[in-house]
Chains A and B, each alone.
Chain A
Amino acid sequence: MQKKSNICGSFAGILMAVIAVITAVLLVRVHASAVTMSRTAEALNMAVNTCRSILAADMASTSADALKENLQAFGSIETTDVNQISFTLNDMNAKIQGEQIYTAWLTREPSEEENLEKITVTVLCEGKEVYSLETMQYTGAQTEGGEE
């Protein structure tokens, strides 16, 4: 009788240990997924806002020097060509605090129509695109007296 009870007790112990291990593994995986999702959402949010800000800074700049000066607020510029500017997003890297490095590209190319430029801002994480925003800019308008 005692032997039977001991077997039952050890079986229950083993069962509890197995359940605990399975739960622990499951929880670790769920936690990892949740952290990844949260980080992705945060990075996407920041990338969208960065793209919008860069685009706004670009639209507000009246010269190449002013553009470079405005863009320096986002990070260190690595290229000298005004039509293809690449920079490291210092602010975003500091806020996300991950090991990955976020960079951005601002490219400007003439459109098929006259007085129109196509501007693209892309935020990349380790060379992989996170978000990209594309717009057109009319280059022949007089800005004096205009409101936005």
Chain B
Amino acid sequence: MKREGVKSLTMMILLAVIVLCLLVLSVLTLSTAAADLRLSEKYAAQVQSDQHVEAQAQSWLAQLDEKRRDGEIEPGAYTMHFGEAASKYLEVTVDVKENAITPIAWQWVAVTESSGMDNLWRGTQS
């Protein structure tokens, strides 16, 4: 009689442990999937923001060309920075000639702040 009760209690404990394990695993799976989705959404927003900055630069090119045609600007190289992000900006350099306008540099520049580790070993200097 007593053995029956012990058997039943063991089964209950075993079931509780299994249920608990499965629940923990499922919560982990769900949180990983949610984190993946959040990361994807962040990436999508970042790409959209970058493209917006690129569009601003293209618009600047068009305005510069219009000014060149109207004779409002002198021939030469012009550089402009675009973007409001603290971590990077788009640097565009164009060569303005009398008859045409040519982009000569179009690159994203990362803004790096000094981390106070200027005394790190930089390798052997020959």
Contact = CB atoms under 8 A, between A and B. Distances in A.
A and B are interacting partners = yes
Interface of A: 1-2, 5, 8-9, 12, 15-16, 19-20, 23, 26-27, 30-31, 33-35, 37-38, 40-42, 44-45, 47-48, 51-52, 55, 113-116, 131, 133-138, 140-148
A135 B54 CA distance: 7
17 contacts: A5-B1, A8-B8, A12-B11, A27-B26, A33-B30, A37-B34, A38-B33, A38-B36, A41-B36, A42-B40, A51-B47, A113-B63, A114-B62, A116-B62, A138-B65, A146-B106, A148-B106
Interface residues of B, number: 45
A interface SS class: helix
B19 A23 contact: yes
B105 interface: yes
A135 B33 CA distance: 31
Contacts, number: 134
A13 B66 CA distance: 84
